[in-house]
A and B are shown apart, each in its own frame.
Chain A
Amino acid sequence: EDKVVQSPLSLVVHEGDTVTLNCSYEVTNFRSLLWYKQEKKAPTFLFMLTSSGIEKKSGRLSSILDKKELFSILNITATQTGDSAVYLCAVFIGYKLSFGAGTTVTVRA
């Protein structure tokens, strides 16, 4: 059975801290891994990763994929209260996107 597992389930940090979110997967027919941010409404797309070892960056967020060890990390540096959200990891298995349970990040001022 295909699995996408995220850790931790939740964490609380203070503004300015750095957070690292983990996503491991065991799937057949892996195509790509995606990260989304969800704040009480639609998940919004952050990154799509298909190749190992190539870091993707967008401002204070970055992500990397390891296809040998079957995991990805999402880093957020210099966190702000606006980063508080659920971060979802998902894997394209064929044409279907399979999601992990998410990591809830709370950033306190």
Chain B
Amino acid sequence: DAEITQSPRHKITETGRQVTLACHQTWNHNNMFWYRQDLGHGLRLIHYSYGVQDTNKGEVSDGYSVSRSNTEDLPLTLESAASSQTSVYFCASSEWDSPTHFGPGTRLTVT
């Protein structure tokens, strides 16, 4: 069965470190998205991609970057982790502009 996976599921890191969160989908979807979910803010879009070599900034992209070298993967990198980036991160994929399949999430704590 097709799926979308994220790793790690939990991560604790220190302020200033570079962190990469992995997202892998086997739906063969062109569109992939990264969201963060925080209490009081709901889900907010960080970055998205409509295909290989395509990346776009979302509403909360500062301090994050993505790259899309193949259809299946969209890794999210925090260049220099900050405590404000403590959150739960969700990757999603879709054949449409809106996300249809979400991964299980990565809980990131920055100390």
Do A and B come from the same complex?
no
Interface residues of B (CB under 8 A from A): none
Residues of A within 8 A of B (CB): none
